[in-house]
Structure 1
């Protein structure tokens, strides 16, 4: 699930305040260190691909993090963020050390912001999250179609420049670099019997976006050329091949408007898939997919109620178009603790992905 450490509630309906969600443990000589985290435990009951309900009490993304900054000069600040979410609060276990959350270093000031490390994709932050950045269920997005046809890492090895705000206009440019020492093996999206290895040349992708804010209204657009998902299919079910593979492109636009305690958002997002010989041979000729969505969140005083509707249109004739509906609500127990309930309908075969979830979160 996509998560933010501080719930993305609108003004007047914050789940928790920032002051209740971080502790400054050091602040001296221009250097500041904050300690923060949360415990999230949920119960869910969700149908699998065969239509059978799968239920569990589970960790829902519990996080422990550090944020530090120091003054490089009077108008430039260096910073870092380090988050861990590789433990299971429901069973008091720690998973392997190849898991985690965000880790990056950067500098910000009059010139804008430059960041290097591992963090959410720009299209996630600016395009997808305004529709649903919920506790358990989110509407699907174009990244669901990409993962499995290239590297599974959308967050690591990135550098991003975000400009200052020019009268409401802001832009961001970035790249993700993957060296030729990195390779992955995947199973075909359409033909799940197909397995292959993609060995990528050293490459640097391009992603960028622009956002404009005027009062309570904002609109954002993002493009990602998915360069690091391109490569050479070197093996298909034990048969040597030498086919160039390209994933395609990903782009979208989202608009938001806030009216008091109500925030509404609309999204149109596209995965423009490649239809090459390699895509077909590897069982990855998934076809284009379009995502049109509406979302809303309302703060009622003691929490939020929210919901979203999305239509997904697939170019591939093997996959039916579908409509998704997500609804949910939160209730503030205190300034640092809240409970929530959500339900989802995916309109998929055998009702796969339909379900119910509820849980509790404590933040510090």
Structure 2
């Protein structure tokens, strides 16, 4: 029983980058503590004035721990902090801070700052060397990224019946979810209470996993909901990921805003004499449709690009990354406006349409 509990609890704690190389600093009498960290020295090369331009250096440090309370009960906790050392140094944050109990086949329950319930689905394509992750954006989608004040129930083996089916239920108590900064002037960008669920099925021994989830805010006015579905295939060499999502925001009984998007990723690992090289190819497209009763609406991409890159893992602790983002946005698209740090007053010169080259080195333990 203890072995089964540990097998369920540990993967839930060590999902951060670098967890595979974490350092065990304490393991005695049923108590275990691991530390892990990452330093990424990276730069995005593109025109000045574009939001993702410039230094993207950061450092993360985290710890996870667990304690065996009884033969059928394990307590656990996790904390992780990221310090931005580049142009976004003011955006340093606590990424995770939660604690909970694991009841074995009955599932686990935790509370604190943790991944939103839809992050399990958006993560299928959030694997690019430097960019990506647009679907994991609480400004657009509900409970799609890290969120504060979330209570989460997870069951990773469907009550002990099968290891191939898992699901999660979540409630967010006025967390970071659904800030909807894109619509700040209309609903004041307030974070709101929300709830959601997901389910995933590893399809026998095919390497395929299918997942879906739904989340929405609790307000009767300005209701915001998101549903997502994804599919991934993975074996030792090949990884394929795809997801589709749709969000709808209705407010003031006058406006409806819809955001639809899909993401596709293909990666292939090649073992070399020293290390492993993983080329990566992706296509991302998100589109917003905004319409109301008293003005002309918007029907425009907010993200649209092709990504070509690679990760070179020299060993489990050190990697080099390179990625080129072929920006497919037109200068009149909403995404060009959002990608511009400051409107220069000349719409045709918006830098939000420029390609970006990202390069970096990563050390992790």
| Fold match by TM threshold 0.5 | yes
Aligned position for 1:220: 211
Aligned position for 1:161: 153
Q: Distance in 2 between matches of 1:95 and 1:247?
A: 31
TM-superposed deviation, 1:141: 1.9
For the aligned residue pairs, the C-alpha RMSD in angstroms reads 3.4
User: Closer, same or farther in 2 for the Cα pair 1:359/1:279, shift >3 Å?
Assistant: farther
Q: Distance in 1 between matches of 2:171 and 2:285?
A: 30
Q: Distance in 1 between matches of 2:228 and 2:44?
A: 30
TM-superposed deviation, 1:340: 0.4
Q: Is the 8 A contact 2:122 2:144 kept in 1?
A: no
What SS does structure 1 have at the residue aligned with 2:121?
A: helix
TM-score (norm 2): 0.74
TM-superposed deviation, 1:356: 1.0
Aligned position for 1:272: 248
Instruction: Give the 5 Å matches for 1:212-291.
Output: 212-213=201-202, 214-215=204-205, 216-227=207-218, 230=219, 245-274=221-250, 276-277=251-252, 280=255, 287-291=257-261
Q: Distance in 1 between matches of 2:80 and 2:147?
A: 13
TM-score (norm 1): 0.75
Instruction: Give the 5 Å matches for 1:95-244.
Output: 99-108=93-102, 109-124=104-119, 126-138=120-132, 140-141=134-135, 143=137, 145-146=139-140, 155-165=147-157, 166-167=161-162, 168-178=164-174, 189=183, 194=185, 197=188, 204-213=193-202, 214-215=204-205, 216-227=207-218, 230=219
Q: Is the 8 A contact 1:142 1:269 kept in 2?
A: no
Mean CA deviation greater in 313-322 or 154-163: 313-322
Q: Does residue 314 in structure 1 map to residue 315 in structure 2?
A: no
What SS does structure 2 have at the residue aligned with 1:290?
A: strand
1:2-23 CA-to-partner distances (Å, cap 9, x unmatched) read: xx6336xxxxxxxxx82xx211
What SS does structure 1 have at the residue aligned with 2:300?
A: coil
Q: Distance in 1 between matches of 2:67 and 2:265?
A: 38
What SS does structure 2 have at the residue aligned with 1:127?
A: helix
User: Closer, same or farther in 2 for the Cα pair 1:332/1:226, shift >3 Å?
Assistant: same
Q: Is the 8 A contact 1:112 1:164 kept in 2?
A: yes
Structure 2: where are the runs of 5+ without partners?
1-14, 291-296, 332-350
Q: Distance in 1 between matches of 2:242 and 2:199?
A: 16
TM-superposed deviation, 1:277: 2.4
TM-superposed deviation, 1:334: 3.0
What SS does structure 2 have at the residue aligned with 1:342?
A: strand
Q: Is the 8 A contact 2:136 2:145 kept in 1?
A: no
1:21-71 CA-to-partner distances (Å, cap 9, x unmatched) read: 2111111111111111111110112457x7x697423314x2111111110
- More contact order relative to length (CA 8 Å, sep ≥ 6): 1
Q: Does residue 298 in structure 1 map to residue 268 in structure 2?
A: yes
What SS does structure 1 have at the residue aligned with 2:32?
A: strand
2:64 to 64, 67, 70: 67
What SS does structure 2 have at the residue aligned with 1:110?
A: helix
Q: Is the 8 A contact 1:142 1:270 kept in 2?
A: no
Q: Is the 8 A contact 2:41 2:57 kept in 1?
A: yes
User: Closer, same or farther in 2 for the Cα pair 1:55/1:271, shift >3 Å?
Assistant: closer
TM-superposed deviation, 1:346: 3.6
What SS does structure 1 have at the residue aligned with 2:316?
A: coil
Q: Is the 8 A contact 2:139 2:179 kept in 1?
A: no
User: Closer, same or farther in 2 for the Cα pair 1:289/1:95, shift >3 Å?
Assistant: closer
TM-superposed deviation, 1:171: 1.3
Q: Distance in 2 between matches of 1:303 and 1:332?
A: 6
